[in-house]
Amino acid sequence: ESRELSPLEVRKKCEEFARKYINIQREQFKRLGVFGDWESPYLTMDPKYEAEILRAFAVFVKEGLVYQAQKPVFWSTGAQTALAEAEVEYQERDDTAVYVKFPITGRARPPGAPDGTSIAIWTTTPWTLPANLAIAVDPKENYVVQEFSRDGASETLLLAEKLVSQFHANTKFNPVGKPLALFPGAKLEKIKARHPFLDREVPVFTAGFVTMDSGTGAVHIAPGHGADDYALGIAKNLAILSPVDDHGRFTEEAGLPNLTGKYVFDANADIVNLLREHGMLLGEQTFHHSYPYCWRSKTPIIFRNVEQFFIRIDELRGEALNAIHKSVKWIPAWGENRIAGTVESRPDWVISRQRSWGVPLPVFYSADGKTILDAKIIRNLADIVAERGSNIWFELDDAALAKELGLPAGTTKGNDTIDVWIDSGVSHKAVCALHPELRDPADMYLEATDQHRGWFQSSLMTSIALNNRAPYKICVTHGFVVDLDGKKISKSGTYAKPTAADHFVGRYGADLLRLWASSIDYTADVPFSEEMFTRLGDTYRRIRNTLRILLGNLYDFDNAPSSRGQRSGVEGARDETLTIMQRDSSTSFGMTLIDRWILERLDEVIHDCRAAYEASEFHKVYHTLNQFCAVDLSSLYIDITKDRMYCDAADSPRRRATQRVMHEIFGALCRLLAPVLVFTAEEAWRYSKSVGSVHVQEFPQPQDRHGRVRPPGAPGAQVAELLRLRSIIGQAVERARQEKLIGNTLEARVVLHTDSDVTKKVSQEELEEFFIVSDLTIHQAKEESALITKTPYAKCARCWRHRSTVGASKMHPDLCDRCESVIAG
């Protein structure tokens, strides 16, 4: 469709398409709970952003980084444009690989090679053979002249000694006798051979890029269709032949009239037949390999010799590597070596695109055809674009645009646009540097592993060119979502099951999706299935129920503003709580060992979560908070303090102290959860009648009540010892239940034999509460054990504890003394 439209019509349709998805994605991000200035997003098609792209380009030109050249580049036959490496995707595919013979001609011959000797080459791209102009060998490797036979036919062939057995296995040509000659590749320099089906001779050259891992050790050279081939062709003054048009079809220059106009990949079979007809085909095989595809058209790409504009990477490479290794923190750490490897091997950056949609490449041509690439003119153009948008390039004809920019009559404009990786790559200039509320360099860039050769690298290179530094302090890399078989699940693929966030948000809610994302180690590829996702529902409900229980236990807590100012809710209570916690004699305010222990654990949780958030290790936050809610709070603290919360007098010192502790836990937990469970944390925060949003509160700091190293007498050590004793009691109680001695734990009379010091430091009331028993006696003994009998005491109808005081009151004979006191007021 686009080929039938004018450039302006194409651009209009592209803009409509882009704006549609801007709005869709904006709403999706909002629903996912992502923060952003959604009413003022930065858009690369915004005129002011486009102007910054051009101003950056003017700097590149001024610094001599931009040049024009004709050489092989990645070419999309589907989109009819040059591509940079970052615009290439790799797919597994099968191709036809062929072994071809090039008969040696002329007087110069390899040592010991008889007449009729041919050089054997191997290629996975038969369609490039019409562009063959040379053969390359390794100067240091040994080559042999060997006679081979197959089905009664014989061939005398020259190939690398190391690859004879592989050649035999793939072609079924059997070596006959010993090699006729053995010599290093350097001896083959300037030998000539005849092209297999075209009327020309091709020279043999030595080259360092020839490898011995496959093929024959003799490489067919087509300077117009490969980077190494091109470099060798330039060095040896070869023609740069590339007989293929924009659509990937053979031109007349290929010298094969029957194939003119045929798509090169469709012509592979014709080339093989041509080799067979000329008696030059030694063997063919199906070759499975990874092949580059265009990221837009999803069609296989080719290397094609075309005139394009480039950025000189060698001018930037050194400083870029220095920034990678010295200025940036890479998460995970292997990202440093990965991007360094891509930068070290990166060729010059092809930046011109044969497309209508994009920022125009600001190149002009004089009346006599000379290229005009001028930084001042580009800056002037940027000023115009900032006011009127980049469509001005396409709306004005050559004469009108030249007049606007003060260029001579007869000047014409180019038709190319700038690589989109420059568009996104200068966001540090167009966004961060122009907004005082943002930081430049940015604190963090976040993207997938493929962006080490994409956005991470384009941003780095443009920033080095503009500022001689990296545009980011931290780079975080995440893997891809894959199915259970390890197959990548892509938004542009054909995966059958639902993969869009909308599906999971609609079915489970945004917070559950966010919880899943926080639970995984995102630095590696993540196996995913809906079944795995649904199992997280239990974790989410556990966290939500913990918040709900804490809120329920705080229903009558006094939220009155503290003396520190008119602050209410969790914030004000936290001031009050901290004042209490920081005093030496905490027990005078009703705090028990279990209260002091849970605050100690809260310190540890805050410390660990802050460290994990700082390191972007969100799965550690998930596991820390899940453990804290499931074990420390639900299974221990909330369970142990349940009796005092429900049965003590409302204003009893220990109940109020526990409420203060729960208040501090609730406030810290909401804020620790907020980056992950954005909606749940906000909902809970507002239910607590706290001021403002949880997302604008200060992140909790550990109070460091005992330091990171806990002393022997710290609550943690004492509770650990009590938990050990509780396990002994629990095992004995379970045996008694199985033997039908008791029905439940509260019916048990427990005699605990132990010499543990902790039982001497903790009150009888606290011990019974901790062990959740009604009747406890402790006997000092070195051999630990627990004896269980049924308590003789009656059960209190209110607290369900079996107490000696039940029945003592005439007014309330079914209550224990504590509960009677509470009822009496």
- What's residue 559's pLDDT? 57
Answer yes or no: are the C-beta atoms of 762 and 718 closer than 8 Å.
yes
For 494-508, b where at least 16 C-beta lie within 10 A, e where not — what string?
eeeeebebeebbeeb
DSSP secondary structure letters along 30-56: HHTT----TTS---TTSHHHHHHHHHH
Concatenated DSSP letters for 229-280?
HHHHHHHTT------B-TTSBB-GGGS-GGGTT-BTTTTHHHHHHHHHHTT-
Check residue 630 and give its pLDDT.
96
User: In the prediction, which pLDDT does 2 show?
Assistant: 64
pLDDT in tens, 546-596: 999 999 999 999 754 433 333 444 444 444 444 434 433 444 467 999 999
Structure tokens at 516: 């899943």
CA distances from 590 to 161, 587, 593, 601 (A): 88, 5, 10, 19
* DSSP type of residue 368: T
Tell me which range, 74-88, 326-340, 571-585, is most confidently predicted by mean pLDDT. Answer: 326-340
pLDDT for 89: 87
Query: Does a cis peptide bond (omega within 30 degrees of 0) precede residue 203?
Result: no
pLDDT confidence of residue 707: 53
Q: Quick check: 135 and 157 in contact, CB under 8 A?
A: no
**Superfamily of segment(s) 82-304:** Valyl/Leucyl/Isoleucyl-tRNA synthetase, editing domain (3.90.740.10)
Q: How does pLDDT run across 729-781, given as a tens digit for each residue?
A: 999 999 999 999 999 999 999 999 999 999 999 999 999 999 999 999 999 99
Query: Which two structure tokens, joined as six digits, stand for 642?
Result: 């349940």
Residue at token pair 């795995």: 532
Q: For the residues 717-736, what does the mean pLDDT come to?
A: 95
Helices 618-627, 653-673: inter-axial angle, 10-degree rounding:
160
Query: For residue 360, what is the DSSP state?
Result: B
**Homologous superfamily of 42-65+312-478 in CATH?**
HUPs (3.40.50.620)
Distance CA 527, CA 487 (A): 9
Q: Which of the listed CATH numbers 3.40.50.2000, 3.30.300.30, 1.10.730.20, 3.60.40.10 matches domain 537-556+569-696?
A: 1.10.730.20
Query: Which pLDDT band, with edges at 50, 70 and 90, does 501 fall under?
Result: low
Our CA angle for 260, 263, 266, nearest 5°, is: 115
Peptide bond preceding 332 in cis form (omega within 30 of 0) = yes
Domain ranges of the chain: 1-33, 42-65+312-478, 82-304, 537-556+569-696, 716-824
493, pLDDT greater than 60 = no
Confidence at 712, pLDDT banded by 50, 70, 90:
low
Give the CA-trace dihedral at 496, 499, 502, 503, to 10 degrees: 60
pLDDT for the residue 87: 85
**CB-based contacts of 722, cutoff 8 Å, min separation 6:** 593, 758, 762, 767, 770, 771
Other Cβ atoms within 10 Å of 723 Cβ, number: 12
CA distance 91 to 292: 6
pLDDT band at 193 (very low <50, low <70, confident <90, very high): very high
CA distances from 360 to 50, 548, 755 (A): 9, 57, 84
Tokens found for residue 817 = 């003394």
All residues at 6 or more sequence positions from 398 whose CB lies less than 8 Å from its CB, including other chains:
411, 412, 413
Q: How far apart are CA 306 and CA 371, in angstroms?
A: 16
Phi, psi of 471 (to 5 degrees): -85, 0
* Spatial distance between the Cα atoms of 401 and 407, rounded to a whole number of angstroms: 8
Fold of 716-824: Isoleucyl-tRNA Synthetase; Domain 1 (1.10.730)
Helix (H) or strand (E) holding 170: helix 164-171
The phi, psi pair for 577, rounded to 5°, reads: -65, -45
List all residues 6 or more positions away from 267 whose beta carbon is below 8 Å from its beta carbon.
127, 250, 259
- Please tell me the distance from the alpha carbon of residue 134 to that of residue 102, in angstroms, as a whole number: 10
Are the C-beta atoms of 173 and 149 separated by less than 8 Å? Answer: yes
Q: What is the pLDDT of residue 574?
A: 46
In the numeric block, which tokens belong to residue 535? 């199992």
Query: pLDDT tens digit string along 432-469?
Result: 988 888 989 999 999 998 899 899 999 999 999 999 99
Instruction: Confirm whether 82-304 and 537-556+569-696 share one CATH topology.
Output: no
Question: Would you state the structure tokens that stand for residue 127, as one six-digit string?
Answer: 């369609």
- The pLDDT mean for the chain works out to 90
3-state SS string for 175-231: EEEEEEEEEEHHHHCCCEEECCCCCCEEEEEECCCCCCCCCCCEEEECCCCCHHHHH
Ramachandran angles phi, psi of 9, nearest 5°: -70, -40
pLDDT score at 104: 96
